[in-house]
Amino acid sequence: MQKQKASPKTALVFGGSRGIGAAAVERLAQEGFNVAFTFASSTNKATALADAIAANGVGSLAIQADSADPTAIRRAVGEATARFGNLDAVVVNAGILRPGTVDAVSLEDLDQMLNVNVRGVFLSIQASVPHLNDGARIVTIGSNVALHTRTPGFSVYQLTKTAVAGMVKGVALDLASRGITVNNIQPGPTETDMTAGSKEVLAEMNPLKRIGHPSEIAGLIAYLVGADARYVTGASITIDGGFTL
C-alpha cells in the first residue's frame, strides 16, 4: 500500500516582508510549511517574497496588516486560516525602534513602541490561539537588549523587549495543556534595516567581530518549530555572538 503524503503544515509570520521576518518566511517554506505573513508598508518586497515562495511550489500569502491595529491583526489571522487552515506555527516578529533618552522620548513614540512591541505581540498570539492545532509552536522575536543595552537612549525599547520575555513565560503556562510551546528569541545586532550604517561599529563591539545574519535567526526559529524542540517552552534564547557576555 502506498504511504499517504502528509498534508503541509501552516505558519503565520507577523512582520515577514523584510530582515529577520523575511528570512523566517523563506526558511519555514523550505521546511515545508505553507506560509502566510503580514507586512505594514513594503508592498513590493512582500509581493516578491510571496511570488518566490509560490514559484517553489509552496503555498504563500502576503497580508497587509499593521501590528498596532487589533482589527488588522484579527483579519490577518482570518485570511491566513481561510487560505491554509489551522496554524501549526506562529512567529511574531513585528517590532519598531524609536530611540531617545528618558527626557526626550515623546508620548507618541512611547505609545507606538508599546502598541507594536508589546500589545501587538500579545494580541497576535491571542488572535491566533483559537486557530492553533494542538502541539503548535509560537515564537516571538525579542532582542538581547532585554539583557543589556550598552547604549543610552534605549530605555523604552528595552522595556518592551523585557516585557516580551516575561510574557512568553505566562503564555507558555496558559497553553501547555494543549502541547503548544511558546518561546522567545533574543537576537543581537543583525544585518537588517535597523543596523544599516552601524554594522562596522557593532561588529567591533562583538566578541566574534561580526553581526548576525537573518538566516541564522531563522535557523533557530526552524529548530523551535521543529520536532526536536517539543520539550522547550517558556524560554528566552539569546543569539548574539557573545554581545551580552
Question: Distance from CA of residue 105 to its chain's centroid?
Answer: 25
Closest CA to 202 of 159, 244, 156: 244
Active site residues per annotation: 157
Sheet holding 236-239, edge to edge: 60-64, 34-39, 10-14, 87-92, 132-141, 181-187, 236-239
Do 38 and 15 contact (CB within 8 A), yes or no? yes
CA distance 37 to 16: 5
Closest CA to 243 of 198, 216, 195, 211: 211
Angle, CA of 159, 164 and 168, to the nearest 5°: 150
Kindly write down the DSSP assignment for every residue of 19-37, as one continuous string: HHHHHHHHHHHHTT-EEEE
- To the nearest 10 degrees (0 to 180), the angle between helices 155-175 and 107-114 is 20
Angle, CA of 181, 67 and 191, to the nearest 5°: 80
- Strands 10-14, 181-187: pairing is unpaired
Kindly write down the DSSP assignment for every residue of 173-230, as one continuous string: HHHGGGT-EEEEEEE-SBSSGGGTT-HHHHHHHSTTSS-B-HHHHHHHHHHHTSGGGT
